[in-house]
Amino acid sequence: MGLSAEHVLDASTLLWDHWNGGRRLPQVPDAIQPRTRAEGYAVQATLERRSASPLFGWKIAATSVAGQKHINVDGPLAGRLLRERAFESGAAVPFGANHMRVAEAEFAFCMRRDLTPQWGLFSVAEVVDAAESLHPAIEIPDSRYDDFTGVGAAQLIADNACAHYFVLGEAAPETWRAIDLSAHAVKGEVVGKLARDGVGANVLGDPRIALAWLANELSSLGVILRAGQVVTTGTCLVPLEIGPGDHVRMDFGALGRVECRLDLS
């Protein structure tokens, strides 16, 4: 027997309160715990009612084999980006009680038109054509679980696929459409501390493939990917370890640069 509407709301409230309070828990209690991806997404969907603004967009977690192994899942997970937790490049982003303590370099797309659920799969070409722009981005994830590597896909989805804060850079030149994003190099750094290199192929083989995966995942759930929403496609480099006061910069070369500072608060 699946989760009742009341149990979905109870699980969502529990995770929401822990997110906003900077607290963690071992797992969602058995009585209200999502057991399937569909139940996880049902819990996650209630987040939109709790946000004061229309949904900013979507994130994809575990878009690399290494990332999937790290959190013990067998494929990507979708999460929601809330507008009140999204920033422009150069912003000061709260560090707070973040215990994942990493920053990720990501290719993000802003949609030009709606993609309404359909019977068949969207092709990569269709989804890319529906995108208005490409942006360099930073995701600063976090989890509400003590050990997010052991709770499984359903509970991770319920916990919004480890979404937390997001930083969007300016739109890349329109020439991005002619670039092989799978081969595009990215350099990430915590200024004065460490640097790592990445490449678009680390994101499901190509960020455009990841964008199509997200569109099809939402379609399977009966959810519209709406014009104006941003889709960030997953880290293209090994996440950078961060702490309060750090300056994070991601250089996407010809596609632009994005940066933020982590507040001591």
pLDDT digits (tens, 9 = 90+) for 21-41: 999 999 999 999 999 999 999
d(CA 234, CA 95): 20
Mean pLDDT of the chain: 96
The amino acid occupying position 110 is: C
Query: Taking the CA of residue 151 as centre, how many other CA atoms within 13 Å lie in the half-sphere pointing to its CB?
Result: 25
- E-strand ranges in the chain read 57-61, 77-81, 86-88, 92-93, 102-111, 131-140, 165-168, 185-190, 194-199, 230-235, 240-241, 247-251, 257-262
pLDDT higher than 90, residue 239: yes
pLDDT in tens, 64-80: 777 888 788 888 999 99
Tokens describing residue 207 = 């960020």
pTM, to two decimals: 0.96
Q: List CB contacts of 69: < 8 A, sequence separation 6 or more.
A: none
The amino acid occupying position 220 is: S
| The predicted structure's pLDDT at residue 1 | 58
pLDDT in tens, 90-107: 999 999 999 999 999 999
Looking up tokens 């987040």, which residue turns up? 47
Residue 109: other Cβ atoms inside 10 A? 27
Angle, alpha carbons 226-232-238 (nearest 5°): 170
DSSP 203: T
| The predicted structure's pLDDT at residue 70 | 79
Tell the CATH topology of 53-262: Fumarylacetoacetate hydrolase; domain 2 (3.90.850)
Percent of the chain past pLDDT 70, that is, above it, reads 99
Q: List CB contacts of 249: < 8 A, sequence separation 6 or more.
A: 188, 189, 191, 257, 258, 259
- Do the beta carbons of residue 247 and residue 191 sit within 8 Å? yes
Going by pLDDT thresholds of 50, 70 and 90, the confidence category of residue 63 is confident
pLDDT in tens, 128-171: 999 999 999 999 999 999 999 999 999 999 999 999 999 999 99
Beta partners for residue 134, in sequence order: 109
Percent of the chain past pLDDT 90, that is, above it, reads 91
d(CA 34, CA 54): 25
For residue 4, give Cα distances in angstroms to 7, 32, 37, 156, 209: 5, 9, 15, 19, 34
pLDDT higher than 90, residue 115: yes
pLDDT in tens, 189-220: 999 999 999 999 999 999 999 999 999 999 99
Q: List CB contacts of 174: < 8 A, sequence separation 6 or more.
A: none
- Do the beta carbons of residue 86 and residue 168 sit within 8 Å? yes
| The predicted structure's pLDDT at residue 265 | 66
- Per-domain residue ranges for the chain? 53-262
